[in-house]
Chain A
Amino acid sequence: MSLPLPPASNLHAVLLVTKSRSLGPRLVFHYPPLSPSAAALAANQATTWFGNQTSTGSIDSHSSSSDWDSGTENEGGEDDIETGSRTSGGRGSGRTGASHRDREKYRPGGAGAWGRQENMEDDDTELDDNGLDNRSKEENGDRKNKGGDYDWNTVLGFKVDALEKMLCPSHAFNKRRFELGVESIAFVGAPMFVRDDGFWKKKRRKKKGKATNLDLLEKLKIEEKEQIDTSDVKRSGSIAMEPFDYPQGFEPGYGHGLMSGAASGAASEAGSDTRSTSTTDNVDAPDMTMFNVVFVLNPPALEYQLRVQEMYDNVTRKFAKALKYEQARSQYIWKESKNIIDIKQRAKDNNESVSATWRKIINASPLAKSIAIMFDAISNDKIAHVHFDATFSTSFQIPQQDSIPYLPNALEPQMPGLWLTTSNVVIDDNNDAPMTQHAALLLLEDAETLVKELEGDAKGNATALAYYIRAIVPTKSLQKISVTHNILAQDMEYIARHLVYWRRARLIAPLHPRDTYIVSPNADMSALQIAIPSYATRFPTLPSLPKVLSMLSGTPRQFRYFIPTNEHREAYMEILAWLMRGGWVTQLRTFAWVHVSPEIKATVAQEMEHEALLKKAEDARREVSDNESLAGSLFSDKRSSFLSGGRPPTPLRRTGRRDIDDENMDASTILSPRTGPWRGSPARPSSDAGSTSSNRAMMPLSSTARPASPALSQTTSGLQQSKLHRPSPLHLKTTSPSRPPPPPSQKFSPTSPSVAPVPPSPPLPPQNFTASLVFAPQKANAVESRWLEKIGQSFEDQETRELWPVLLRHLDGKHALEDMGVREGLKRKRVAALFAAVREGGWLVVVRHW
């Protein structure tokens, strides 16, 4: 299992590259405007990425670092660079004696460069990468030492023209993952090519647009639709949305009204004229043939695959698809690109600074703005809400875990503050109904904050959504909420999933005063100093946060014991919700397995042996009766009694049995699969035969003796029997050593009718058995289910006996007993009583953890 890692996108830049017939490959836009050079990024990572370089070759690493440094000093051979930016091919004429080193000049110094470059804009005039400086100096003759802010020709330390060529892959990469690694820097993109017919989307028959009846969930769906469409996973029913491929000019105006309030002002005009031109543009041979949004990452070596994959699946690909949709609809990218290129060119001609120009571009172009938003959010592991234009907006994120099932040890990556629980672990049982309906939704922000956020986002349906959100309480399951507030269960679940996906809420087991909560071992203690005041403002009159945590620190107790009075109940539950939200506490859940005692095993083994013998006897009898019919009358009496003996034998019958028990001792122990180390080989073959036959014999019995059936008399008799058996080991101990073990092979041979009068089997000494656990009662084998059944029969309480099979389903160590009530529709108290009763009997091994 790979270790779960804390979220870290390692995103350092976003680039937009286009390839057009008129301009060729073009790096249209990059964000942030002043990015650290790739070399600096790589160097910044030295500890993790090149952790083994010291061992692979220290000389190499030395020489490289000296290159790194000397390169920054290098002033020679600059001539070709100015020309290089335009005439990409004919370079290198002046460069004869220079070593490879001068090509490294754009690499600034070591790890320190990263920090300094970030502040470049402010005061860093003495840049470490003189190469950049020189170039800009030469190009903008009058400007000296202004550094990267006037450097129009490098991005990430690479010359723009080289970079844009590299990022324009061949058509083979269409819609594929584009992944280019330069040292430890990964360029991840999803290149989109225009179709051969000049369109960006396959022409499809016009689909009947869904009438824009403002369904209550419309707002959500709009955010979600990108998800759904791009991932090509159509969700069922109400969630499924129209794909993006409306024919040009026939957009059903979907969402126009919804989004108008939110879109940026600059976008509206651009949006309107693109719409008018889109139909005409598209028909002509398109100028732009490809675009590629490239995300620049520097993940640590060991996380490389994971981070790149995450970025590509969740952000890069989806973003590219959304852009392609926009491009298909309105030539969005190309228009915006031309606009951006224009602004850049003008600024460059006027020698304006990069950062100022970038501000201008971002204000003028919604595309640039969306890239900037994207970068800012994703690089901080947040959710990016991107407005492409007035009519279309969507959100992107790299999903994060909201809980972990186990506590990282000192050697593993720490994720303090993450909710520690196993309740989200999917148990791969097919018969497990999803718990969503039984779970409660814990909002991670206050309902009002959330509502306000929504109102800012959308108009029409916000009130309805607000109604939903205000209805959500962490103490009630979704099912209950939907019943009390008369909300459709699917709607409720949909909202829940949506809120969970967008990190607004978590699904938890409903908070309840009768549940037990402990201070989470994964609580983020470093957040405590901030949390204390915010807690204090929230709950000014109640015990302080340290006090509450201290209260929950001791021996685990049900939460209700901490609530002083009934009036405090609500407030304390709110505190609990607050604590849950911050990952301060976690629920202590109870898991259990059935513990099978040797006595039970002995009893069952004995019964099974008896049945086996019975069956043999019957076989033998049948054989005998076939051969000599007169013997039939002799056996008929016995036979009837044995048939009734299929059930647990009554105490009366038992008495007669004891005198003959010696002979059967061996055979019966063989039947048990878990006897101690065996003491003799001759029994092996017969044991196999015995167990299979016993299985067959068992089937009819289990159907009659199933506790669910109202065979009360039978079960009580079983109970009595097992009680009577308890003292038997004492009795047997004395007898067993004295008896001579007869060869079992003879005894079972069906050919000798002398065996036919089957002696009732003796109680077996539990010493021959060791106690064991049943790990999965649902998948118990034949013997195990016999044990379980036997245990069930031993309960004196009628109700316990009835509920035992129900309880059994949860005794696999994977299902928390706390969940049992809602799953089975039982009252909490009843479950508790049942559990206590069974536990009292010593039938359970119980462990409590999160």
Chain B
Amino acid sequence: MPTRSIKSIFFTRFHHRQGSRVLHQVPEGSITNSTAPAALDTPLFDFESVTQYLIPKQDFCDRLLTFCTNHHRVIGYPVCVREGKYYRNEFIFNFAVVVGEDMGDWVSYAEVVRKLGRLLRGLEEQGGFLSREEGGSLEDDGGGQGGGGLGLGMLNGNKAGSKVYALCEMVLEDLNNYAECMIPIDDSNTINLKLFPTHPPPPPIHPHHVPLLTISLSSLTSPISSDLTLTRILPFINGIHSVSHIAQLADTDVSLTRKAIQHLVYYGCLVLLDIFTFGAVYAPTAEMGWFVTDSSVQEECARYVAVPQLRFGREGGGSASTNMVGGGGGGESSEKKSRDERSSVSSEASQRSDISSTTNATLNLTTPTSSGLNDPTDSFSASSSSSARPKVDPETLITLYVSLRQGLTLKNWVLENLSLLHGIDIRRFITFGIIKGILYRVHKYAIATSTFTSPATRSPATNAASTIPPSIHRDSDQSTIRGHANARHLSHKASLASTVNIFATHESTSEVPFHGENDKPSGGLPLVKFLDGMHCFDEICTELGMGEQVVEKKVKGAGEVQIVHR
């Protein structure tokens, strides 16, 4: 929220004889010329030329009315109270706010103005909050003088006692300083205002998206929401599980899960990733140049992708330094934590992503610089074993990132770069790239080029797809999820430790058997709807609850199908 962006707040009302009049303005002189000592020299804009928008015809009352003049945007909410007690039976006023014309999020101010307008209408209707105040001075005065100038003079004199003026002043100061305010009006009324930033509408969440929290929601003291789905799924959001997987694990409805995640996205606590597998293809985007040239990002990345277990093993195997490190560990871990929290979205998120391992790891994780600083004796070991890289070399990171390319699966990439991957968590390496936008996932699509294209054959097929599968879907989902969980777990752990021997294990083994039995009745039918090139393999796999290799096999069996990587 930009500070001090409200230039002026003023209260104007239509007087039956004097026309539109500015009764109160903060700061003085910002709307009409004022004789007050601290008044502005020149008004922000010419009041006379815009009165028709401040006190409009009744058609335009009781709604937000904004206009731009002289590089200022005036946000008003003209209110017309019709009651017999007023002269001509109506009382029209406007409590308006002036901000800069090009302010991006002026809508949040508009909402405040709207609320204030409605509240003041209520107050006026209840007890004449606005009209009572001027009842003594203005009406008589106006009747006697006829001219605006003296009336204003009177008002200035009155100002100290004016509740409305005080209201203007407090709203301006509090909103500008604290973006919120609470103003007690009388025994039963209090004005509570707060500027809420406008967020863009959240994008649709698909079951194959992988959410990753960017702030540590678990550290909040109060529960973030009474939404049961949200509280249930939160523990499972870790940057590894897909939305449908989370729904399975938390035993929640998928669509509700998607909604809940959408809420998190709306408030900016979440980023969306793709499903990590070693069969996936990643390639650099145009942002790579930024990564290469910005050393702070490289450092962040190095922190994020470094494998903590590795240090642990090394120190354990090392000499007496272990004890020292352990001793200093307490302080350092907290330091490390706080740095992580400050450092970035991703590294904070990373802490959550593998709680079990990190909680252990952070205790033992020390950066050599800090240990070197902490006790001088340790510097010996640090310098002597300089080959034990505490942090991953930025150059290595760059080399690794740029060696990713279209058409190269992660598995093959790992095999190509095995020597460089020492001490790097591959999943985190990829995740970092995705979060920062320096990598993109090359998705795989299947396009049927024949056999299924005619609508006649398609409609039963889609029907079948929508009617038959649920039971199958559920079964296979259940079992796949288990399978998935296994595979993921395996691959994740493997990516931490030794990078070589996991490739054979991932997914396929655990999933092939049950598909064999499940898919016989439905045949290839559920697949058909996915073969129009609009569904990536992640989506197909999630929807069908099958492994990628199985899906690919089935897809290829389904007729003439082209696989496109995008």
Contacts and interface: CB of A to CB of B under 8 A. Distances in A.
Interface of A: 47-53, 55-57, 60, 63, 88, 91-92, 95-100, 103-104, 158-159, 162-163, 165-166, 169-173, 177, 179-184, 300-302, 304-305, 405-407, 409-412, 414, 422, 518-521, 523, 525-526, 528-529, 544, 546-547, 549-550, 553-556, 588, 591, 593, 770-773, 775, 813-814, 845-850
Given A301-B107, A410-B209, A547-B562, A166 B52 contact: yes
Given A181-B64, A519-B564, 16 more contacts: A52-B198, A63-B118, A88-B57, A100-B79, A103-B59, A166-B53, A183-B63, A302-B104, A304-B106, A305-B104, A546-B533, A554-B565, A556-B407, A848-B405, A849-B284, A849-B288
Given A166-B60, A770-B395, A181 B532 contact: no
B129 to A, nearest CB: 17
A184 to B, nearest CB: 8
B168 interface: no
Contacts of A410: 203, 209, 272
A406 B285 contact: yes
B36 to A, nearest CB: 25
Contact of A305 (B48, B102, B197, B565): B102
B273 to A, nearest CB: 8
A166 to B, nearest CB: 6
B115 interface: yes
15 contacts: A48-B200, A52-B111, A60-B114, A92-B58, A92-B88, A162-B59, A304-B106, A521-B566, A546-B449, A550-B447, A553-B407, A591-B289, A775-B293, A845-B292, A848-B405
Interface stretch (B13-21, B65-73, B152-160, B480-488): B65-73
B201 interface: yes
A200 to B, nearest CB: 22
B566 A519 contact: yes
Interface string B272-308: 1000000000011111110011000000000000000
B123 interface: no
A163 B53 CA distance: 11
Contacts of A405: 286
A528 B200 contact: no
Contact of A159 (B59, B65, B203, B289): B59
A52 B565 contact: no
Given A179-B68, A407-B285, A846 B59 contact: no
B200 A302 contact: yes
B121 to A, nearest CB: 8
B46 interface: yes
Contacts of B265: 411
Contact of A422 (B64, B286, B564): B286
B57 A166 contact: yes
Contact of A555 (B199, B200, B407): B407
Contacts of B50: 170
Interface string B391-424: 0010100110110011110000000000000000
A773 B61 CA distance: 64
A57 B115 contact: yes
A686 B105 CA distance: 54
B405 A182 contact: no
Contacts of A170: 48-50, 52
Interface stretch (B215-223, B318-326, B437-445): B437-445
Select the residue from B56, B286, B562 with max chain A CB neighbours within 10 A. Answer: B286
B534 A847 contact: no
Contacts of A96: 82, 84, 89
Contacts of A814: 289
Given A92-B89, A849-B288, A182 B203 contact: no
Interface in B32-56: 46, 48-50, 52-53, 56
Contacts of A60: 114-115, 118
A606 B197 CA distance: 58
A67 B447 CA distance: 52
A52 B108 contact: yes
Contacts of A162: 56-60
B89 A302 contact: no
Interface of B: 46, 48-50, 52-53, 56-69, 79-82, 84, 88-90, 102-108, 111-112, 114-115, 118, 121, 194, 196-203, 209, 265-266, 271-272, 283-289, 292-293, 393, 395, 398-399, 401-402, 405-408, 434, 437, 440, 442-443, 445, 447, 449, 532-534, 562-566
B389 to A, nearest CB: 12
Contacts of A301: 105, 107, 198
Given A162-B57, A813-B289, A182 B64 contact: yes
Contact of B287 (A53, A180, A406, A411): A406
Contacts of B200: 48, 302
Contacts of A49: 107
Contacts of A173: 49, 69
A591 B200 CA distance: 34
A51 B61 contact: no
A550 B533 CA distance: 11
A796 to B, nearest CB: 25
A56 B57 contact: no
Contact of A521 (B81, B90, B103, B440): B440
A529 B562 CA distance: 14
Nearest to B88: A92
Contacts of A528: 447, 532-534
Contacts of B564: 519, 546, 549-550, 553
Given A179-B68, A554-B407, A814-B289, A103 B61 contact: yes
A550 B402 contact: no
Given A98-B82, A409-B437, A773-B292, A103 B49 contact: no
Contacts of B563: 550, 553
Given A60-B115, A410-B272, A422-B286, A555 B82 contact: no
A845 B59 contact: no
A101 to B, nearest CB: 9
A100 B562 CA distance: 64
Contact of B271 (A100, A411, A422, A518): A411
Contacts of B103: 305
A593 B290 CA distance: 12
A88 B52 CA distance: 14
Given A166-B53, A550-B563, A553-B407, A104 B62 contact: yes
B179 to A, nearest CB: 13
Contacts of A773: 292-293, 398
Contacts of B405: 555-556, 848
Contacts of A523: 566
B49 A177 contact: no
Contacts of A591: 288-289
Given A100-B62, A302-B105, A51 B198 contact: yes
A51 B197 CA distance: 10
B421 to A, nearest CB: 18
A847 B111 contact: no
A105 B511 CA distance: 62
A286 to B, nearest CB: 22
A182 B60 contact: yes
Contacts of B399: 845
B283 A849 contact: yes
Select the residue from B67, B112, B121, B563 with max chain A CB neighbours within 10 A. Answer: B67
Contacts of B286: 405-406, 422, 849-850
A409 B289 contact: no
A525 B81 contact: no
Contact of A100 (B52, B61, B443): B61
Nearest to A775: B293
Contacts of B283: 849
A528 B534 CA distance: 8
A51 B199 contact: yes
A556 B407 CA distance: 7
A64 B241 CA distance: 42
B288 A847 contact: yes
A693 to B, nearest CB: 28
